[in-house]
Amino acid sequence: MLLPLAAAQFIASYACTNMNVAVTAIASDLNTTVIGVQTAITLFTLTMAALMIPGSKLSDIWGRRLCFRLGLLVYGIGALVALVAPGIGILILGYSLLGGIGSALMIPPIYILVTVYAPNLTARAKGLAVISAAAGVGSALGPLIGGLVTSTVSWRASFILQVLAVAGILVLSRRIKDRPSETRPPRFDLLGAVLGAAGLFFIVLGVLQSATYGWFKATKDFAIGGTVVLQKGGISPVWLFVALGAAIIALYFWHARRAERAHRDPLVSPSLFRNRTSNLGLVTQLVQWLILQGSFFVISVFLQTIGKFSAIETGLLLSPATAGILLASAFAGRMARNRTQRFLIRGGFVIWIAGMVLLLLFGRTTQNVVGLLPGLLITGVGIGVMLTASANVVQSAFPDEQQGEISGLSRSVSNLGSSLGTAIVGSVLVGATSNASYVLALEVMLGFAFVGLVAALLLPVAPSKRQPTDVAKRAVA
């Protein structure tokens, strides 16, 4: 059962990074800009983040196997639309929206099936290690495979490969067994889904505005429908959108509490956020994907726009990171047996930070791209060490009956991190014509890595007392 599940996770993660090395090719072919392609990439991960929790809830209602296969079908249709896209709008429709919706439907069942069907914590750790490794390797191989395909055929050929892969996974997924739920399927909280998706959308949209209007003071007038809402020199519209998103998220929590008091099923129970171990694990997950996607994007743009490297050359230069993730993934099972998950998360952040310091010291210019290689290798190892551990911490903190909710929340947070990583570094790189913006973007990623390390250091030695089952009591120390 693991093969189709891991393959689907690989494809979804591959789709997040393979576009990075084709930025200039896509921009030229579709008569758009680097910022336009960045927006498409960000919207893909944002759509996943916004709909991942509704997707996990639907997997409880429709069944995990059905939801997984339906997600694959929608994803495949999206890849076909992107394949023939004549402009950036159709590319966003196929790649960002349909691809994001398909991913949001198929990814939660992957983690739920692995978690629920594992007979014990050791088997669960091994299963999650395979899935997390597929996610990390997919992200790492995206630039290499994408660069090879773009340089030898076309960036569109990458979508052909995805369509063929999805068709193969659909065939393999016929063997997946899904036992019926022993409890009443939850009702779908439509209002909660709308509020949650809208809140995340406006927060990431606000970050994207920083590329046009700046982070703190507006660099030009911000108008809606011809009416100037914020004048140049005033507060940036970034914070208008972020505040709106935060207000909508707060409204969702109010709605969820009302639903629970009325004995209805909210989209995500606020009680999930009372678990300290899980909360800190979610922070580490968000930061991991933020720095992974953010650093991949900034280095790819740096090599293509400033260094004038081709797609395949960019992919090859990023291959040490792929090797690092593969190396760490190969030893993930052994590390999980010999070390606590908390130790692995902490160690992963420390290793990643060391690799980023090397990048800043020796890979600051395109005249010395060889200096990138050691830093990329070490950052890849760091990511590979901690990806599985964070997912295991979060998933194992709750009993089987809550796996649908926590799986969706976990995947949503990871994809929100990917969206924010691409959006944040994109705002730093806008109009980049020198090494200064590249170095600043890497320094921003380094700063976020320290935030993740602090969260990892705060992970408790013992699980929260709120964990109600034996599985939760065995949660990662």
Q: What is the pLDDT of residue 470?
A: 40
The candidate with the shortest Cα–Cα distance to 57, out of 371, 403, 449, is 403
Share of the chain above pLDDT 90, in %: 14
What per-residue string of b and e applies to 256-273 under the rule 16 or more CB within 10 Å gives b? beebeeeeebbbbbeebe
* pLDDT range class, residue 475, cuts 50, 70, 90: very low
116 vs 348, more confident: 348
The candidate with the shortest Cα–Cα distance to 445, out of 215, 290, 304, is 290
* pLDDT range class, residue 476, cuts 50, 70, 90: very low
Share of the chain above pLDDT 70, in %: 87
List, in order of start, the domains of the chain with CATH numbers.
Answer: 2-189+265-473 (1.20.1250.20), 190-264 (no CATH)
Please report how many Cα atoms fall inside a 13 Å half-sphere around the Cα of residue 434, on the Cβ side. Answer: 3
Q: What is the pLDDT of residue 227?
A: 76
CA distances from 457 to 90, 356, 374 (A): 44, 19, 26
Instruction: Give the ranges where 302-402 is alpha helix by DSSP (H).
Output: 311-317, 319-330, 332-338, 341-362, 372-395
Q: Is the pLDDT of residue 230 over 70?
A: yes
If you average pLDDT over each of 72-76, 230-234, 380-384, 434-438, which comes out highest? 72-76
Longest dimension (CA), the chain: 64
Instruction: Output the six-digit token pair for 330.
Output: 């190969």
Compute the average pLDDT of residues 225-237. 79
What's the CA dihedral at 199, 284, 438, 362 to 10 degrees? 180
pTM: 0.75
pLDDT digits (tens, 9 = 90+) for 260-278: 888 887 878 888 888 888 8
Assess contact for 100 and 44: CB atoms under 8 A. Answer: yes
Q: Is the pLDDT of residue 435 over 80?
A: no
pLDDT digits (tens, 9 = 90+) for 452-466: 999 999 988 744 433
Q: Whole-angstrom Cα distance, residue 164 to residue 11?
A: 11
CA distances from 351 to 169, 359, 379, 450 (A): 34, 13, 7, 11
Q: Is 295 exposed, middle or buried (0-12, 13-18, 19+ CB in 10 A)?
A: buried
Compute the average pLDDT of residues 177-198. 76
Gyration radius of the chain over CA positions: 21
Chain length of the chain: 477
pLDDT digits (tens, 9 = 90+) for 330-359: 676 677 677 788 888 899 999 999 999 988
φ, ψ dihedrals at 109, nearest 5°: -60, -30
